[in-house]
């Protein structure tokens, strides 16, 4: 686009940035299903390989469809550059492999995606990179865990499944005072509801598999940040190869086109459901950042533009009652996936957080009676009716 992209509204960025129409005049972005590219001459090939000429060489390096997704997401996050990856986990792995070395240390929130904990403990540790896990909202605990070798602070906010909210700006200040980088996994909010870079974070991670695709069609991920840092991440990706495919990039960039309107609708539905759940006699507690009684409410109002579609609630009783509620619903999808147009329901203690010990789960506050919802885009009354069917089993 010819006018200054920086000043567009977020919804416009999601729809318009990154695509230079080809002479064919296509309206929708093309999928470049090609592994490699052809040069006009031996000399032109040589110039591509040295980097003198900035064109495409091979799709592990660059692909025009992937490049549209990257430009669009970077613009939405207010960052210089984004690097697309095959999945959210490969975004986290690529960040660590590019920026850390043996002897370096990570401080990580205990309330992050379970596989992230597995990656840090089971794989990075094998290569001499140690991680200390701290309680998400314990600011003194974060400070106390930092060592001279600490290079990364890693967090998700709001957290899964209890929606703890962490102060991104404070964590960025803490990281920078200790010569470390702050990495924020922005999967639950997306740039529509939260832009961590504007709050001081150095790197944003996405599992594009979730809200960015938003319709459960493909895996994808991204790392977002300054050109200096992203150039290092890109160098790892080009060497190791966990890049995003052109088709998945196309699905995800189409997802970005509707992300603004979807995140608002997810948030509206979730708030209505959180309020309805709060009034139910067999619901003990509702964990949703949009409820004024939630601990993270004020901070969420400050650093987020909305509350997202993720919420949890505990029912009276234990695992048996929670499972009864889940099994008595008819429309909701019983799956651990999230960020989908379809509402999903899951029992964290026996699925997403099933690998934790009983003690770790207790400490994390994930009881046997806890149920997590990823509130979708169906008519809100239909979602409520289905939850009501579930809760009726234990009334």
Ligand X SMILES: *Cc1c(COP(=O)(O)O)cnc(C)c1O
**Residue 207 sits in the site that holds ligand X (CB under 6 A):** yes
Residue that the structure tokens 């579930």 belong to: 390
Residue 391 C-beta: closest distance to ligand X, Å: 26
3-class DSSP state of 272: helix
CB nearer to ligand X: pick between 195 and 321: 195
Residue 124 C-beta: closest distance to ligand X, Å: 15
**57 φ/ψ angles, rounded to the nearest 5 degrees:** -120, -50
Question: Which residue stretch of 207-215, 224-232, 275-283, 373-381 sits at the interface with ligand X (rule: CB under 6 A)?
Answer: 207-215
Residue 71 C-beta: closest distance to ligand X, Å: 21
Residue partners of 86: CB distance under 8 A and separation at least 6 = 219, 220, 221, 242, 243, 244, 245, 248
End-to-end CA distance of the chain: 57
Residue partners of 369: CB distance under 8 A and separation at least 6 = 284, 314, 315, 316, 317, 318, 319, 321, 322
Residue 113 C-beta: closest distance to ligand X, Å: 4
| CB 214 within 8 Å of CB 253 | no
Residue count, binding to ligand X (CB under 6 A): 13
**Residue 156 sits in the site that holds ligand X (CB under 6 A):** yes
Question: Which residue stretch of 71-79, 203-211, 251-259, 302-310 sits at the interface with ligand X (rule: CB under 6 A)?
Answer: 203-211
CB nearer to ligand X: pick between 209 and 369: 209
Residue 267 C-beta: closest distance to ligand X, Å: 17
CB nearer to ligand X: pick between 356 and 380: 356
Integer angstrom CA distances of residue 59 from 63, 83, 207:
5, 13, 21
Residue 344 C-beta: closest distance to ligand X, Å: 12
Residue 197 burial by CB count (10 A; 0-12/13-18/19+): exposed, middle or buried?
Answer: buried
CA-based Rg of the chain, rounded to a whole angstrom? 22
**Residue 187 sits in the site that holds ligand X (CB under 6 A):** yes
**Residue 94 sits in the site that holds ligand X (CB under 6 A):** no
Residues that bind ligand X (CB under 6 A): 87-89, 113, 156, 160, 185, 187, 207, 209-210, 219, 221
């Amino acid at each position: 686009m010819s006018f200054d992209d920086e000043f567009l509204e977020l919804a416009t960025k999601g729809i318009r940035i990154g695509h230079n129409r080809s002479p064919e005049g296509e309206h929708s972005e093309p999928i470049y299903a090609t592994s490699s590219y052809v040069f006009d001459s031996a000399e032109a090939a040589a110039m591509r390989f040295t980097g003198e000429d900035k064109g495409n060489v091979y799709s592990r390096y660059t692909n025009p469809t992937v490049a549209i997704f990257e430009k669009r997401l970077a613009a939405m996050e207010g960052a210089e550059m984004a690097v697309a990856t095959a999945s959210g986990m490969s975004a986290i792995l690529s960040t660590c492999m590019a920026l850390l070395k043996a002897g370096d240390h990570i401080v990580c929130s205990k309330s992050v995606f379970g596989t992230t904990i597995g990656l840090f403990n089971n794989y990075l540790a094998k290569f001499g990179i140690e991680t200390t896990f701290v309680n998400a909202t314990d600011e003194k605990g974060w400070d106390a865990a930092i060592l001279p070798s600490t290079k990364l602070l890693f967090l998700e906010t709001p957290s899964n499944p209890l929606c703890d909210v962490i102060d991104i700006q404070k964590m960025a200040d803490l990281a920078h005072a200790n010569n470390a980088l702050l990495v924020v996994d922005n999967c639950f909010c997306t740039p529509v509801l939260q832009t961590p870079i504007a709050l001081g974070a150095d790197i944003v991670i996405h599992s594009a598999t979730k809200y960015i695709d938003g319709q459960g069609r493909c895996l994808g991920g991204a790392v977002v940040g300054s050109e200096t840092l992203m150039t290092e991440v890109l160098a790892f990706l080009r060497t190791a190869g966990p890049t995003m495919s052109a088709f998945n990039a196309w699905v995800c960039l189409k997802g970005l086109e509707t992300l603004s309107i979807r995140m608002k609708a997810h948030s509206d539905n979730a708030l209505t459901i959180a309020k309805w759940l709060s009034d139910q006699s067999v619901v003990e507690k509702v964990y949703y950042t949009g409820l004024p009684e939630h601990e993270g409410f004020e901070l969420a109002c400050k650093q987020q533009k909305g509350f997202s579609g993720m919420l949890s609630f505990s029912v009276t009783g234990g695992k048996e009652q929670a499972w009864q509620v889940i099994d008595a619903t008819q429309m909701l999808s019983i799956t651990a996936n999230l960020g989908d147009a379809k509402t999903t329901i899951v029992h964290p203690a026996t699925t997403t957080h099933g690998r934790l010990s009983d003690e770790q789960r207790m400490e994390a506050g994930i009881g046997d009676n806890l149920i997590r919802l990823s509130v979708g885009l169906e008519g809100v009354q239909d979602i409520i009716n289905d939850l009501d069917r579930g809760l009726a089993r234990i009334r």
